[in-house]
Amino acid sequence: MQWRVDEIRDQWGMRGECLVAEPLAPLTTWRVGGSADLLVRPVDLEDVHALFNFLRHNRLPWVVLGGGSNVLIADSGVRGVVIQLTDMNYIIPCGECQLRVGAGCSINHLVAETVRQGYAGFESLAGIPGTVGAAVAGNAGALGQQVGDCVHSGLVAENAAVERWLHEEFAFGYRSSAITTEYVVLEVTMKCQRGQPEQLRQRVKLARQHRWQAQPVVGANAGSVFKNPPRQSAWKLIAESGLQGKSVGDAQVSKQHANFIVNCGKASAMDIVALVSKVQQVVAEKTGFKLEPEIKFIGDFGEAAVQVALMQVNGRV
């Protein structure tokens, strides 16, 4: 479909950035993938309403892209509209030891700002890439802490209807929540405590050091590719299966950390999908454990991704 940005703005009143045929690879940490038919960055809740009116009227498929750190974009790109909330990146104190945080705010900016202002409770999250909205949806975590632990409530959109969800409605689990592809996290109210900035800075320093020591990965990657099975470590299962350093095209199982896949230069999304599938198959054959991807797949990967999808849904290789 051919889009004219001026017509979209005039007819639907959208004020945020609208980009036609926008390359998505530079917006992801893997640096792979095709273009979005239309990339839209709403600036506030009013703009979100205008955007969903546009989507609903034109019956367009849509998907949310956060900081691009835990996703794989198809080589063919994404049909319809890709939504980024990077312009909704505010942090506003509210109530007693609570913060209103825009979904487009990066986790690292949240950590830096809360430390500067003397708010404790986020230090263990230092170094986690991506945005608050995406981190809430996937309940990202580190050092035994999950993002969901900090959530008091949030504003969630479903087809332009914005509702406030309380903590229990998010149904946080291990790297999961009730936020499916039908919903968009717009804002989160976070719980915190008061703390001394100098002590908080030291905790952040230690958290970053621990993260680097545990995951000293060099090269374009998307973080941990697989979830840990119960009472197991995915990286150990992959390493014990002899897969470190194995490649498909320019996609390689990291030599520094077996649960990372690195783009060594010119990897395609299909290279990465093929390597994910290979790791699943070999680990299942050699250890009996079935690894479930932690990353999200955006776009049409065709038949090559069917086995990966089956693993996610049915727990089978």
Tell me the domain boundaries of the chain.
5-83, 91-214, 220-314
Q: Which of the pair, 102 or 4, is modelled with greater confidence? A: 102
Among 22, 123, 187, 294, the active-site one is 294
Which ranges constitute the DSSP H helices of 181-268? 197-214, 234-240
Quick one: DSSP state of residue 311? H
Report the pLDDT averaged over residues 43-59: 94
- Name the nearest CA neighbour of 110 among 165, 167, 168, 151: 151
Residues ≥6 apart with Cβ < 8 Å to 201 = 115
pLDDT at site 145: 83
pLDDT at site 305: 54
Catalytic status, residue 175: yes
Q: Which of the pair, 91 or 304, is modelled with greater confidence? A: 91
Report the pLDDT averaged over residues 257-286: 96
Catalytic status, residue 294: yes
* Greatest mean pLDDT among 137-141, 142-146, 176-180, 213-217: 176-180
Catalytic status, residue 224: yes
Fold of 91-214: 3.30.465
Among 124, 153, 224, 268, the active-site one is 224
Q: Which CATH architecture has domain 5-83?
A: 2-Layer Sandwich (3.30)
- Name the nearest CA neighbour of 110 among 239, 118, 101: 101
For the domain bounded by 220-314, which CATH number is listed?
3.90.78.10
What predicted TM-score, i.e. pTM, was given to this entire model? 0.88
Q: Read out DSSP for 263-295? A: E-SS--HHHHHHHHHHHHHHHHHHHS--PPB-S
The Cα–Cα gap between 48 and 203 comes to 36
Q: Is 86 exposed, middle or buried (0-12, 13-18, 19+ CB in 10 A)?
A: buried
